[in-house]
Structure 1
Amino acid sequence: MKDIAIFGAGGFGREVACLIRLINESLEEPRWNLIGFFDDNEEIKGTANEYGKVLGGMETLNVWKTPLDIAIAVGNPQVVRKIAGGVNNPLVDFPNIIAPSVTWLDKNNVRMGKGNLLCSGCLVSCNIEIGNFNIFNGYIPIGHDTRIGNYNVIMPSCNISGGITMGDCNFMGVKSVVLQYLKIGNNTRIGAGSVVMRNTKDGYLYIGIPAQKLDV
């Protein structure tokens, strides 16, 4: 077993702790030993929750003396990017954390980088490319021929239709939908329950059915 810790000690971090336990239980030999959490919130350093202790923040992680896997469990794309870019410890790796219940239509036809989280109930179709440090937070179908960049946060029960191209640092709210063969660029936010029916412009919030761009 390799030691693993979670960066982010909030509610989602605790859910990822449960996910790591489920992965271990699905294997003949457990893969990971969860040693605790890292978090830059000074108020919770040294505290503990039901799944482990908060060991410190980025400074502590960067001087860690033994090999360690890290899962980033934060629901903000820009913060995920900041955390991933702040780790300079050569002993730290970022594995893909994939729930046992994820369905693969053709796993051999999926290319994936590092540090991705695929939570329970996701479905991954064929001819898929996924970059680094993306969060698929449960019950998300990813349609055929889709290309997804880095640091995207996809909340539960979203629908990513076939042929989608998505850039970096985008956020999809709960139960939002992107229809087929559209392009989502960078730093786009899609409100909960919204349906994107046209290509989006970078840096804007889209809400509604059909989703409309807001200047905020």
Structure 2
Amino acid sequence: MTTPIVIIGAGGLAREFHDVLEAVNAVEESAGRQAAFRFLGFVDAQPSTESRVLSRGPVLGGDEILANLDPATQHIIAISNTSVRGKLDELASSLGLHAAVLIHPAATVGRHDNVFGPGTVICANATVTTNVRFGRHVHVDRNVAVGHDTTFDNYVSVFPGASVAGNVDVQSGVTLGTGSSVIQGIRIGANSIIGAGAVVVRDIEANVTAVGSPARAIVR
């Protein structure tokens, strides 16, 4: 059965997630099956790139239209800001709406013990090994590597090229910047930001920005 879906957001990330959606559908259709999803459009009151998204589908309106969606309609939240993503998840959940899981067919995902929370998006060429746990609305971008027994809590963003070793605990609302690295056994506290190219070799407390190699907190 083909599931109707909307993408919340209409910027560059929304277009990237639409690419993932199309890739998922293409695999199904090439195998002679129905497309997994029927894309209805974008949800954004002030789309910053409306001319670019309109070639992919309509902008349906702002958040208020979520209340009018059929309960069978699923959604993905294409918003990088982790706090805003959490608030939108609360809104959609309060309306009884369910989030989809999108995994690009060009991602390498282990077959054993991985758990993907609602709203998780895994982009092309990402690698997820085994027993990795994803909370709600976790975004894993292109060329990310994730090792065994790692946990991502809700609303985590992992930017392109980041590398996360095994047994890492990434708490809610964390952002791992482009090309950052986290060695095994590390805990990163909630709502912290790891800067681009940073190398995390010790635990990072909550609500800080950490940069450099080794990564050190510069903003508290």
Answering whether residue 194 of structure 2 is matched by residue 193 of structure 1, we say: no
Contact 2:15 2:53 in 1 (8 A): no
2:95 counterpart residue number: 89
2:146 to 138, 142, 149: 142
TM-score between both structures, scaled by the size of structure 2: 0.91
Given that residues 120 and 136 in structure 2 are in contact (C-alpha distance below 8 angstroms), is that contact kept between their aligned partners in structure 1? yes
Matches within 5 A, 1:115-134: 115-134=119-138
Give distance in 2, aligned partners of 1:157 and 1:65: 37
Give 5+ residue unaligned stretches, structure 1.
Answer: none
Structure 1: 4+ residue segments shifted above 4 A: 42-48
Matching of residue 25 in structure 1 with residue 20 in structure 2: no
Q: Percent identity?
A: 27
Q: Distance in 2 between matches of 1:6 and 1:19?
A: 11
Q: 1:68 aligns with which of 61, 65, 73?
A: 73
Cα distance between partner residues in 1 of 2:48 and 2:106:
35
Q: Which residue of 2 aligns with 1:4?
A: 5
Kept in 1: contact 2:11–2:48 (CA 8 A): no
**1:163-178 equivalence runs, <5 A:** 163-178=167-182
- Structure 2 residue runs of 5 or longer lacking an equivalent are none
TM-score by length of 1: 0.93
Q: What is the distance in 2 between the residues matched to 1:176 and 1:209?
A: 10
The C-alpha deviation readout for 1:24-48, integer Å capped at 9, x for no partner, is: 0011321111111001327788995
Aligned counterpart in structure 2 of residue 210 of structure 1, from 201, 204, 214:
214
Amino acid across the alignment from 2:74: D
RMSD over aligned Cα, in angstroms? 1.9
Look up the SS of the partner of 2:213 in the other structure.
coil
Q: Is contact 1:45-1:57 (8 Å) kept?
A: no
Distance 1:14 1:44 in 2: 10
SS at match of 2:65: helix
